[in-house]
Homo-oligomer: A and B are copies of this chain.
Amino acid sequence: MLKNVYIFGIGMMGGSIAKALKKSKLAKKIYATDINPKVLEYAKTKKIINDFDYRSYEFLGEADLIIISSPMLAYEGIFKIIDNYCKEKCIVTDIGSTKKDCMKIIKKYSSLSKRFIGSHPLTGKEKSTIKNSDADIFNDQYVLLCPSLNSSKNAEVVVKNFWRSLGCKSLVISASHHDRILSKTSHLPHIVSYLLVNMILKDRIIDNLEFYTGGGFRDLARLAQSDSKMWSDIISTNKVNLIASIDKFILELTKFKKNINNRKANDIEKYIKSLKYHPKKRKNA
């Protein structure tokens, strides 16, 4: 049982955390803040949270666990506020999609840094805002935990237990490893979908889209609908890795092009099959 939980930013993800906590009766009190007071009123009226503060942070001082679920480019200011108002022993985590940038900021707050573990739950929805929040998006999902340079063991245990109580399995990895891997497994697929879907949509020769696209395009289009503010933040905070991943992918496309250009039908078939990853063939796996 957690005592008081304070959610910094109550959009789709923050709202989902609040709902999941309510549903499982895990917290004594759930407080929230947000830059938009209407959202806070909505959350209180709908009983998603117990109470909120707006620019005053009086409930922040009562929190035992603080979860930052705001755009990552607001972290600079948020850590400063938390450092000013929070209890001495309160544990802090976040849900941001990149981790190295946030570790750079928390370094400036040595006491807070001890009580901070970054979290990245691999779950979500394309639709933002609290109205799309959902208590069940954490069931049986994965969360990556990234300690700061001086995170305490206690902080790790508290944050791990918090996610477990929401139904998530967790894995601890370094922030730099996290950002490098996620630039390939998550950020690159999103950017590729976004660019591909918009390239198709704006093409003048494609005059009747519904006739020319099947389920494959619809899946890509769904992926491309994600919140552009969130994705700008991800791109800004993981630029170097993302550019390296795009370069790697351009290389794959270029190799592919070259290989189909010089081959006959039978050889193309062999080539396509050879591109497919076969786990059994992997050495030292």
Give A residues with C-beta under 8 Å from B: 73, 122-124, 142, 144, 169, 171, 177, 180-182, 184-186, 188-203, 205-206, 208-217, 219-220, 222-223, 228-229, 231-233, 235-236, 239, 242-243, 246-250, 252-254, 256-257, 260-261, 264-265, 268-269, 272-273, 275-277, 279, 282
A268, B189: Cβ atoms closer than 8 Å: no
Task: Tell me the smallest distance from the CB of A35 to a CB of chain B, in Å.
Answer: 16
A212, B144: Cβ atoms closer than 8 Å: yes
A268: chain B residues at CB < 8 Å are 232, 235-236
Task: Tell me the smallest distance from the CB of A264 to a CB of chain B, in Å.
Answer: 8
A212: chain B residues at CB < 8 Å are 122, 144, 181-182, 185-186
A197 to B276, CA, bound (A): 9
Q: Which chain B residue shows the least CB distance to A281?
A: B202
6 closest A-B pairs by beta carbon, nearest first, are: A201-B277, A232-B269, A219-B219, A236-B265, A185-B212, A122-B214
Q: How many identical subunits does the complex contain?
A: 2
Q: Which chain B residue shows the least CB distance to A220?
A: B189
Q: Which listed residue, B208, B249, B272, touches A199 by the CB 8 Å rule?
A: B249
Q: Which chain B residue shows the least CB distance to A256?
A: B195
* Interface CB pairs A-B, < 8 A, 12: A124-B214, A142-B210, A177-B205, A184-B203, A186-B217, A189-B196, A189-B217, A189-B220, A195-B256, A228-B269, A232-B272, A236-B260
A252, B195: Cβ atoms closer than 8 Å: yes
A181: chain B residues at CB < 8 Å are 205-206, 212
Known: A186-B212, A233-B265; 19 extra A-B contacts, CB below 8 A, are A73-B265, A122-B211, A122-B212, A122-B213, A122-B214, A124-B215, A142-B210, A144-B212, A171-B208, A181-B206, A182-B212, A192-B196, A192-B253, A193-B216, A195-B249, A198-B276, A228-B269, A232-B268, A243-B257
Q: A186-B217, A196-B189, A211-B122 are in contact. Are A272 and B201 (CB under 8 A)?
A: no
Q: Which chain B residue shows the least CB distance to A279?
A: B201
Q: Which chain B residue shows the least CB distance to A143?
A: B211
A275, B198: Cβ atoms closer than 8 Å: yes
A243: chain B residues at CB < 8 Å are 257, 260-261
A194: chain B residues at CB < 8 Å are 272, 275-276
* Residue of A206, A264, A272 with most chain B CB atoms under a 10 A cut-off: A272
B256, A191: Cβ atoms closer than 8 Å: yes
